[in-house]
Amino acid sequence: MIPIRDTVPAKHYPLVTHALIAVNVLVFLAQISYGPQDLQRFIFTYGLVPARYTVGDVAAYFSLPQQVFSLFSFMFVHGGFFHLLFNMWMLYIFGDNVEDHLGPFYFLLFYIAGGLTSGLAHFFLNMASTTPVIGASGAIAAVMGAYFILYPQSRILTLIPILFIPLFVEIPAFFFLGLWFFMQLLNAAGSQAQQTGIAWWAHIGGFAFGVAALKLLPLLPAAQTRDGYHRGAIRRKKSDRLQVIRPSASGDSPDLYETVRVTPYEAAAGAVKLVNISRGLQKRMYRLRIPAGIRDGRVLRLKGQGRDDGKGNRGDLYLKVRIEQPW
């Protein structure tokens, strides 16, 4: 299952989420500039190696600042392009909504604390291990745990490839994330026998931290006022590029009707949206161009995107444009 997009629009620009993605990409570009031997040294230096803290002969090679720094640097180092790509994609999907709820400052603290907790969870269960743990997956697992608490009824548009046929399915967030967490538990239970090299307990620790942190969130001073979270946040000028719509029909007519939402900025400047038309098990993706200067209430006609009338003819899909702020 490959998550494509959630259905909860964020009201603020995810500044910290995008900054974290940029930092991870820059660190990866620095990594690949090293040769094979230097790269191994880089990973051992900046990754989290439990034996560095528990085995005296290993710890002697590192200073105290180096030991402390690796507790945080490991979450910005990745083992390969696809490792980086998968982690950053998950952060892109779930991070904007969690940042939208927490605000940029608290989200940054939450992300770093989640990554640190995930690393410590792995450390205490593998204290003599000389294998470096690297990657942002523990911190991102914390983000997913927070999303699980905040938006359980959200739906995740998910790509399920069946042979060469892409199937798009909307899965409730509580099921998608609950299944993900259950799989981490199963893999952790059998990890000693499998020797997969994946820090399953880091994922579990990060997710548990995310859940617990959101439960304790009302205790923060800023929880007394909603504005306390969003100091420094930037209001979004655009709505999500990918929108999921569920059109309805009128009687026996093959035509379908629904609303597409854009911001005042997009209405004035024009925009291009990817519209996922969801009707039962049928999922279709359509590229929709919003013309510049469009007015509220204008109806766009998508020819042939309606229902089959039983005679081999398809109706049309009529989308009413609704101009509104995303907050």
Share of residues in the chain with pLDDT > 70 (%): 91
CATH for the stretch 237-323: 2.60.260.20
Mean pLDDT computed over 136-161 = 92
Residues in the chain: 327
Q: What is the pLDDT of residue 225?
A: 45
Identify the residue with better confidence: 260 or 231.
Answer: 260
The matching CATH number, chosen from 1.10.1740.10, 1.20.1540.10, 2.160.10.10, 1.10.10.10, for 2-234 is 1.20.1540.10
Cβ atoms of 148 and 211 within 8 Å: the answer is: yes
Q: Which residues pair with 290 in a beta bridge?
A: 271
Q: What is the pLDDT of residue 224?
A: 45
Q: What is the pLDDT of residue 193?
A: 40
pLDDT in tens, 200-251: 899 999 999 999 999 887 766 654 444 556 666 677 777 777 777 888 887 7
Cβ atoms of 237 and 263 within 8 Å: the answer is: yes
pLDDT in tens, 81-133: 999 999 999 999 999 999 988 888 889 999 999 999 999 999 998 888 888 99
Q: What is the pLDDT of residue 92?
A: 95
pLDDT-derived band at 18, boundaries 50, 70, 90:
very high
Q: What is the pLDDT of residue 84?
A: 95
The phi and psi torsions of 136 (rounded to 5 degrees) equal -90, 5
Does residue 12 register a pLDDT over 70? yes
Query: Which residues of the chain form CATH 2.60.260.20?
Result: 237-323
Q: Using CA atoms, how far apart are residues 162 and 146, in angstroms rounded to an integer?
A: 31
Give this prediction's pTM.
Answer: 0.82
Identify the residue with better confidence: 126 or 192.
Answer: 126
Within 13 A of 18's CA, how many CA atoms are on the CB side?
7
> Average pLDDT over the chain, rounded to whole?
86
Identify the residue with better confidence: 323 or 193.
Answer: 323
Does residue 37 register a pLDDT over 70? yes
